[in-house]
Amino acid sequence: MTQPASSAPEEPGPRRVRAEVALRLLEVMRDMDLPPEMLEEEDPTRTMPRRFGLSDVVERQIRQFREDARRGVRLSDDDVQGLFRLVIRRPDSAQVFHRVGRLLGGGERPSRWVRLLPAGLGYRVARARTRWMLRRLFGRPIGGFARPPFTIEGRSLIFVEADPGGDACHLLSGFAEEVLEQTLGGSAEVLHTLCQGRGDDRCRWEGEMVQEAATVAPGVDARGSDSVDEDAVDPEDAEVVDHGPSGPPG
C-alpha cells in the first residue's frame, strides 16, 4: 500500500522587512507594560511576570532583534505579522502600533532647510520621504499617494492582512505624523479615514499640519500657492497600489 507523501513545510516567503520593525514592536510593548512608578532596584520581570512585554522571552527577543537590526537582517512577512497578532490581543493595541509608527518615522531626519520651503514644496518632500522610508523598512512600496496635500491609499497592505480589525493600520498613521512633523515642523494629524478592516474597498490616510512651524524664510509665502501646484499628484502615485494577498515581488 502506497503511503501518502508528506507535505513539505510552507516557505516563509521573501525576507523583505527590516528587523527594526520587529524590534520597535517589542520595545514599545515592553515600555508600555512598565508601571509608571518603580523602585530602582525592582526587577519588573519578576514582580510583574504576567505582563507579556516584561517577560524574559521578550527581553531575549529584543536583544536578538537589536543585533539583527545592527547587521541589516530582514524578516519575512510571516515573522512580522506574527508579532502584529501578538499586539492585537492587547486592549491598547492601537496605541502600541501608533507609537511604533512614530519611532519608525523618526529614523531619518531631513535637513532643516526643508522647513523654509513653501508649503506645497514641503509636502512634496514629505511625500517623497514617506515613500522612500516605507520602501526601505518593508522592502516594497506601501500604498501610493492620492490627492494632495498628503493622502496615502492602498489595498491589501501588510497591516490589514495581519489584523483584519484594522488596529495595525495605526502604525502608518503614527509613521506619517512623525514624517510630516520632522519635515515641515509644527504638529501634524493623520486620520485613517477608510479601512478595509472596516469594510471599505481600500485603506486611506489623510494628513495635514494642524500647527505650522513658527520659522518661515523672509519673503516666502508660507502656503506657497503662487509658485507650487498643490493639486498636482506625483506621477508614480497616480494609481492606488494594490498589493494583493502576497504583495508585489521583492
Interatomic CA distance for residues 245 and 47, integer angstroms: 42
Q: Do 18 and 69 touch, CB atoms closer than 8 A?
A: yes
Answer yes or no: do 212 and 117 share one domain.
yes
Strand 203-211 to 187-194 pairing? antiparallel
- Please report which confidence band the pLDDT of residue 55 belongs to, taking 50, 70 and 90 as the band edges: low
pLDDT at 236 over 70: no
Last residue of a domain, one of 87, 118, 150: 87
pLDDT of 52 reads: 56
Does residue 146 lie within any of the structural domains? yes
Most confident among 9-23, 102-116, 162-176, 218-232 (mean pLDDT): 162-176
Answer yes or no: do 65 and 110 share one domain.
no
Interatomic CA distance for residues 142 and 136, integer angstroms: 10
Centroid of chain to Cα 150: 15
- Please report which confidence band the pLDDT of residue 56 belongs to, taking 50, 70 and 90 as the band edges: confident
Does residue 69 lie within any of the structural domains? yes
Return all residues near 2 (Cβ < 8 A) that are at least 6 apart.
none
More confident residue, 41 or 107: 107
Answer yes or no: do 209 and 145 share one domain.
yes
Answer yes or no: do 145 and 28 share one domain.
no
Interatomic CA distance for residues 135 and 127, integer angstroms: 12
In total, how many domains does the chain have?
2
Answer yes or no: do 110 and 210 share one domain.
yes
Summarised one tens digit per residue, pLDDT across range 189-224 is 999 999 999 999 999 999 999 987 655 444 444 443
- Please report which confidence band the pLDDT of residue 111 belongs to, taking 50, 70 and 90 as the band edges: confident
Answer yes or no: do 65 and 159 share one domain.
no
Does residue 4 lie within any of the structural domains? no
pLDDT of 115 reads: 76
- What is the reported pTM? 0.78
pLDDT of 211 reads: 83
Does residue 248 lie within any of the structural domains? no
- Calculate the average pLDDT of the chain: 81
More confident residue, 135 or 39: 135
Give the mean pLDDT of 64-83: 96
pLDDT at 108 over 90: no
- Please report which confidence band the pLDDT of residue 124 belongs to, taking 50, 70 and 90 as the band edges: very high
* Listed range (79-83, 91-95, 145-149, 244-248) with the worst mean pLDDT: 244-248
Answer yes or no: do 231 and 137 share one domain.
yes
pLDDT of 58 reads: 87
Q: Which three cell numbers stand for residue 53?
A: 512585554
Answer yes or no: do 118 and 201 share one domain.
yes
Answer yes or no: do 123 and 201 share one domain.
yes
Answer yes or no: do 111 and 71 share one domain.
no
Answer yes or no: do 140 and 186 share one domain.
yes
Does residue 64 lie within any of the structural domains? yes
Summarised one tens digit per residue, pLDDT across range 14-33 is 999 999 999 999 999 999 88
Domain membership of residue 231 as a residue range: 104-242
Does residue 96 lie within any of the structural domains? no
pLDDT of 120 reads: 87
Does residue 92 lie within any of the structural domains? no
* Listed range (116-130, 133-147, 179-193, 229-243) with the worst mean pLDDT: 229-243
pLDDT of 142 reads: 97
Answer yes or no: do 83 and 108 share one domain.
no
